[in-house]
């Protein structure tokens, strides 16, 4: 029912910037927390940032000060502005949403590739 469409990935040089977007559609529930994760082949998925429906944000230390998460509730869209990119940021980036309820359900986007060259 719910679909998450991600965009904005690509190839960028070290020190450059990218802005990822993830738009949710078809949901029959109010969206609560939204977040961004990333994963490289053969490695564990890593959480990057979360933002609550009210706009409260949290970041992991590796991206704090470089990445900014934001959302537009009228569009059911979450964004990730990535600045000062490093080669170690290369990964597949996934968005995630949770219902604004006690439900344990969680939903994922298809992933978008980000490659940072040195």
- Convert the pLDDT of each residue in 48-73 to its tens digit: 999 999 999 999 999 999 999 999 99
Dist. CA 23–CA 95, nearest whole Å: 9
Sign of CA dihedral 112, 99, 78, 84: negative
User: Confidence band (pLDDT; 50, 70, 90) for 42?
Assistant: confident
Query: For residue range 4-14, what is the model confidence (pLDDT) as tens digits?
Result: 999 999 999 99
**Do residues 58 and 36 make contact, with C-beta atoms less than 8 angstroms apart?**
no
User: Confidence band (pLDDT; 50, 70, 90) for 27?
Assistant: confident
**Strand pairing class (10-13; 31-39):** unpaired
């Amino acid at each position: 029912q719910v679909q998450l469409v991600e965009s904005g990935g690509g190839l960028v040089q070290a020190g450059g910037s990218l802005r990822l977007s993830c738009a949710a559609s078809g949901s029959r529930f109010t969206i609560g927390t939204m977040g961004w994760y990333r994963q490289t082949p053969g490695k564990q998925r890593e959480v990057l940032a979360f933002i609550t429906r009210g706009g409260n944000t949290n970041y992991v230390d590796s991206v704090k000060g470089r990445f900014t998460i934001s959302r537009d509730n009228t569009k059911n869209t979450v964004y990730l502005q990535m600045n000062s990119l490093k080669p170690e940021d290369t990964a597949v980036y996934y968005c995630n949403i949770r219902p604004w309820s006690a439900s344990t359900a969680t939903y994922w986007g298809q992933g978008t590739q980000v490659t940072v060259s040195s």
